[in-house]
Structure 1
Amino acid sequence: MIEVYHNPRCGKSRNCLAFLDNSNQEYTIIKYLEEVPTEKDLKDLLEKLAIKPIELVRQKEKIWIDNFKNQEMTDETIIQAMIAHPILIERPIIVKGNKAIIARESDKIEAFFKVK
């Protein structure tokens, strides 16, 4: 089953769901601001995305700028910051099996589903 880390207030996230609906994909929504991912969830997600924790952070968010920007942080402290402030997590994220993408553009979503 496809999982989508979704923020209903985000236009890119809503567009992602519309794309999936239009392509008749079945999926489960994870409202990650309400169901905050655990440390294990985030580490699994990062592995599926094949990125470092900093690459999953929305670095233009006020919380990041005010509290974390220009600080020396380990991967672990970045993960803890995302758990404490889930708004920092990039969105939307599509997970299918052992692969995932940050699905901000429809062409990336389309390419993701064409890969076998």
Structure 2
Amino acid sequence: MSQEVTRPWGSYRVLETGENYQIKILTINPKSRLSDQRHKYRGETWTPVNGVLKVNLQEHVTPIAPGRSLSIERGAWHRLENQSNNPIQVIEIQYGTNFDENDVERRADDYGRVD
């Protein structure tokens, strides 16, 4: 298992990487959200473990609860948000050809990281 990587919205840890996939566990801090972003080389599937998350996918907002999953196609704009007062863990499965952290285009970000 890899080291925990800290981000402004929380942290993540890579659990496993294969030829066409990577599995992470994300921890989203209370009242925090990721960038409104898209990826050129990968899609993602999110499954919350311990709380309800708000997801903005292509301008459509939907909640996802533990045991439910939401898939994001490569190139789709998406944003994940924890509106609760507790950290929420999310299993993220990435699938595609490149899992580099630089494969991200941001159009909105609470932490000043817009491209």
| TM-score normalised by length of structure 1 | 0.26
- Using CA pairs below 8 Å that are at least 6 residues apart, which structure has the higher relative contact order? 1
Q: Radius of gyration: which is bigger? A: 1
| TM-score normalised by length of structure 2 | 0.26
Specify which structure has the higher proportion of helix: 1
